[in-house]
Amino acid sequence: MAASLNQLPGVGPTTADKLLEAGFDSYQALAVASPGELSNTIDIGERTATDIIQAAREAADVGDFESGTALRKQRDQIGKLSLLIDEIDELLGGGIETQSITEFYGKFGSGKSQLTHHLCLTVQLPEDYGGFHGRAVFLDTEDTFRPERIDNMVRGLPDEVIEATMTDRGIAGDAADEAALDELVSHVLERIHVAKGFNSSHQMLLTEKALDLTGEYTDTAWPVRLVCVDSLIAHFRAEYVGRGNLAERQQKLNKHLHDLMRLASLKNVAVVVTNQVAANPEAFFGDPTHPIGGHILGHSSTVRIYLRKSKGDKRIVRLVDAPSLPEGEAVMRITESGLKPD
């Protein structure tokens, strides 16, 4: 690929390497970049960046108006990832969509991290069981990822699903066979790529790495089909404190979301992010159920889902904002063996 980026006018070997390193691994990726973003990322002048993007657009044959047919073709590839909880799948019109960002927001303990764990498992299930037969990337910014929890969740799947999944992976045995279950758990954990983000810049860098990783597995039997960011906002919130830093925070967050959106649409991946609800509603938007992040986040995440605690292990899942779905609610339970229907 470096060789072909090299063929763009104005791109020498050094620039080509920098582009690759920054995750611009195709004409298409370059074509949708903004000059400001590109010039900042690889440290070139904005004029040069504009020229490179223009050349990439011509080479990639994008950036013009797309026909309805072409758009339809891309939309036809949108997959819907099942949660294995019928009521929620129905609420979401079939499941969590690829090519877009889905945001789960809610208070502490509402189940955001549990949901991201759960999806790292369901994305791996065979298509007959609502999965993508794909792997997951987990950007862990709060040190919440727990392999033991995945272990519980695998063992907690219905026997039929366990056995279909074993067959799918060439694991001999059944749901009562401990050795086969152990093998299945390892197989599943092997396909969850976890990276811990130590601060917001690191988190953004990891997003670029996630794009690389996704590229590496694109044409393999187990492509990356899910990228989770848990939590999206925590670092940004901690680092950019106070009104004076709000604009800069939003700008960075905007770039981060832009990168995630690009990953989602270029690689046909489902991106799932979590977001805390402000503890002090006054400090933000006056609505206690409003997620942190402000307007930019509101526009970028295509589907927003509000989680709230109910009695005991029950959680209410509320679809708040989706382009083509009615609002509504569903219920799930967080049990020892994972997320279950009510």
When the beta carbons of 108 and 198 are compared against ligand GTP, the nearer one is 108
Number of residues interacting with Mg ion: please give it, by CB under 5 A.
3
Min dist. Cβ of residue 114 to Mg ion (A): 8
As a whole number of angstroms, the distance between CA 91 and CA 81 comes to 13
Q: Taking CB within 5 to 8 Å according to partner kind, which of Mg ion, ligand GTP, none is near residue 111?
A: ligand GTP
When the beta carbons of 112 and 133 are compared against Mg ion, the nearer one is 112
As a whole number of angstroms, the distance between CA 45 and CA 5 comes to 18
As a whole number of angstroms, the distance between CA 173 and CA 329 comes to 38
Among all chains, which residue has been given the structure tokens 């009521």? 87
When the beta carbons of 113 and 203 are compared against ligand GTP, the nearer one is 113
Give the Cα-Cα-Cα angle 292, 265, 165 (nearest 5 degrees).
95
Q: Taking CB within 5 to 8 Å according to partner kind, which of ligand GTP, Mg ion, none is near residue 109?
A: ligand GTP
Min dist. Cβ of residue 234 to ligand GTP (A): 9
Min dist. Cβ of residue 315 to ligand GTP (A): 8
When the beta carbons of 23 and 106 are compared against ligand GTP, the nearer one is 106
When the beta carbons of 99 and 114 are compared against ligand GTP, the nearer one is 114
As a whole number of angstroms, the distance between CA 37 and CA 279 comes to 33
Q: Taking CB within 5 to 8 Å according to partner kind, which of ligand GTP, Mg ion, none is near residue 110?
A: ligand GTP
Min dist. Cβ of residue 303 to ligand GTP (A): 17
User: DSSP assignment, residue 127?
Assistant: G
Site for Mg ion in 122-181 (CB under 5 A): 144
Min dist. Cβ of residue 109 to ligand GTP (A): 4
Q: Taking CB within 5 to 8 Å according to partner kind, which of ligand GTP, Mg ion, none is near residue 159?
A: none
Which chain residues interact with ligand GTP by CB under 6 A? 106, 108-114, 149, 276, 334-336
**Binding track over 100-119 against Mg ion, x by CB under 5 A:** ------------xx------
Q: Taking CB within 5 to 8 Å according to partner kind, which of Mg ion, ligand GTP, none is near residue 99?
A: none
Nearest to 196 by CA among 253, 137, 240: 137
When the beta carbons of 144 and 250 are compared against Mg ion, the nearer one is 144
When the beta carbons of 41 and 113 are compared against Mg ion, the nearer one is 113
Q: Residue 80: beta bridge partners?
A: 97
Q: Is 33 exposed, middle or buried (0-12, 13-18, 19+ CB in 10 A)?
A: buried
Backbone angles phi, psi at 229, to 5 degrees: -120, 110
Find out whether 284 and 292 touch, Cβ atoms under 8 Å. yes
Dig out the tokens for 37 from the structure.
């973003």
Q: Taking CB within 5 to 8 Å according to partner kind, which of ligand GTP, Mg ion, none is near residue 263?
A: none
Min dist. Cβ of residue 267 to Mg ion (A): 25
Min dist. Cβ of residue 259 to ligand GTP (A): 23
Q: Is 209 exposed, middle or buried (0-12, 13-18, 19+ CB in 10 A)?
A: middle
Q: Which runs of E-coded beta strand occur in 120-257?
A: 135-140, 192-196, 224-230
As a whole number of angstroms, the distance between CA 340 and CA 115 comes to 11
| Preceding peptide of 231 cis, ω within 30° | yes
Min dist. Cβ of residue 305 to ligand GTP (A): 12
When the beta carbons of 211 and 233 are compared against Mg ion, the nearer one is 233
Min dist. Cβ of residue 166 to Mg ion (A): 30
Among all chains, which residue has been given the structure tokens 């298509």? 127
When the beta carbons of 29 and 101 are compared against Mg ion, the nearer one is 101
End-to-end Cα spacing for the chain: 49
DSSP result, 221-287: SS-EEEEEEETSSHHHHHHS-SGGGHHHHHHHHHHHHHHHHHHHHHHT-EEEEEEEBPSSGGGTTS-
**Which residues of this chain interact with Mg ion, rule CB under 5 A?**
112-113, 144
